[in-house]
């Protein structure tokens, strides 16, 4: 059995270090037990003997001034963190991870957080940042709902979700290169043939005021407009339901969404092609 050791009240750097080893070096660490020590300390020989493990079966992260700690005097001014040290070791042993863009983003965020580089973010004091993982973990330290184990488990679960979202974002970025661009009176529009669930919002963030997505597997179509008050998709919805008598459509009361299926509701997919819906949009709006 292996032991993973980090400090009490684990922060995002400590939790991410543990997560990296458990998720991406699972052959060695998937079943490793996590133990906690005072910050800067190492596991005592007594505790190690209680768990019947040798010294080489114990890995310290973000504590103990070892391989995966960055609090030593010679490392203090370097732009590194415990997580980045673990990551460097992982890609040295598993070179295929080097091209994992989503994993790179996770580690880079932890380095930014650990060096307080969010100081340079736009509107750095805005309350929106309290919704990020750093501040969620920080807030939980005051709720008395979490101990070290549950805090680590919660943080790792969040990282699983963040990593999955980043993977989905990467695929959305790639899908955008294959989109069909068109013009509307409200600005740029784009049509996308993809099952990717992140692409609608990402396309809007990239400046497209109207996004049409056709799922090639399910056949469903989703149309969303930027949340601008001057946009009203009522004419588009009316034109589509006149053309399509087989698919079931939902028109959101906010007048910015025309949906033919989503994860929240079961609807009959539309037989209309992506190109047909784009043509309707171009003629109507």
Query: Can you give the pLDDT at residue 265?
Result: 65
Query: Can you give the pLDDT at residue 143?
Result: 86
Q: Is 203 exposed, middle or buried (0-12, 13-18, 19+ CB in 10 A)?
A: buried
Query: Can you give the pLDDT at residue 264?
Result: 63
pLDDT-flagged residues of the chain (< 70): 262-266
Residue boundaries of the structural domains of the chain: 3-172, 178-284
- Cβ atoms 9, 151 nearer than 8 A: yes
Distance CA 230, CA 232 (A): 6
Distance CA 235, CA 285 (A): 8
Distance CA 39, CA 70 (A): 12
Distance CA 213, CA 192 (A): 5
Q: Can you give the pTM of this predicted structure?
A: 0.91
Which H or E run includes 224? strand 221-225
Query: Can you give the pLDDT at residue 284?
Result: 87
Distance CA 245, CA 284 (A): 18
- Cβ atoms 265, 250 nearer than 8 A: yes
CA 148, distance to chain mean position in Å, is 23
Query: Can you give the pLDDT at residue 76?
Result: 84
User: pLDDT tens digit string along 165-196?
Assistant: 999 999 999 999 999 999 999 999 999 999 99
Those residues whose C-beta lies under 8 Å from the C-beta of residue 107, and which sit 6 or more positions away, are 16, 20, 81, 83, 84, 87
- Cβ atoms 259, 250 nearer than 8 A: yes
* Paired tokens of 81: 């963190």
The CATH architecture that domain 178-284 belongs to is Roll (3.10)
Distance CA 14, CA 20 (A): 10
Query: Can you give the pLDDT at residue 263?
Result: 61
Query: Can you give the pLDDT at residue 262?
Result: 65
Using the CB atoms, write b or e for 170-189: b if 16+ within 10 Å: bbbeebbeebeebebebebb
């Amino acid at each position: 059995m292996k032991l993973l050791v980090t400090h009490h009240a684990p922060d995002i750097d400590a939790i991410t270090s543990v997560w990296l080893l458990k998720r991406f070096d699972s052959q060695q660490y998937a079943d490793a037990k996590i133990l906690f020590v005072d910050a800067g300390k190492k596991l005592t020989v007594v505790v190690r003997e209680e768990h019947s493990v040798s010294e080489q079966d114990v890995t310290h992260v973000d504590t103990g001034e070892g391989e995966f700690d960055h609090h030593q005097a010679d490392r203090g001014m370097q732009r590194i963190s415990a997580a980045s040290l673990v990551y460097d070791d992982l890609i040295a042993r598993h070179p295929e991870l080097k091209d994992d863009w989503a994993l790179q983003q996770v580690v880079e965020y932890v380095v930014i957080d650990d060096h307080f580089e969010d100081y340079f973010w736009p509107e750095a004091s805005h309350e929106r940042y309290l919704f990020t993982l750093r501040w969620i973990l920080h807030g939980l330290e005051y709720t008395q709902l979490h101990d070290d184990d549950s805090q680590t488990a919660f943080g790792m679960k969040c990282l699983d979700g963040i990593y999955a979202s980043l993977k989905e974002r990467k695929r959305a970025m790639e899908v955008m290169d294959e989109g069909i661009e068109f013009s509307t009176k409200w600005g740029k529009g784009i049509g996308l043939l993809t099952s990717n669930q992140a692409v609608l919002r990402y396309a809007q963030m990239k400046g497209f005021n109207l996004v049409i997505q056709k799922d090639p597997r399910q056949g469903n179509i989703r149309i969303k407009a930027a949340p601008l008050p001057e946009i009203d998709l009522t004419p588009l919805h009316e034109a589509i339901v006149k053309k399509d008598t087989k698919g079931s459509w939902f028109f959101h009361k906010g007048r910015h969404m025309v949906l033919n299926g989503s994860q929240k509701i079961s609807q009959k997919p539309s037989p209309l092609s992506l190109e047909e819906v784009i043509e309707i949009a171009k003629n109507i709006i």
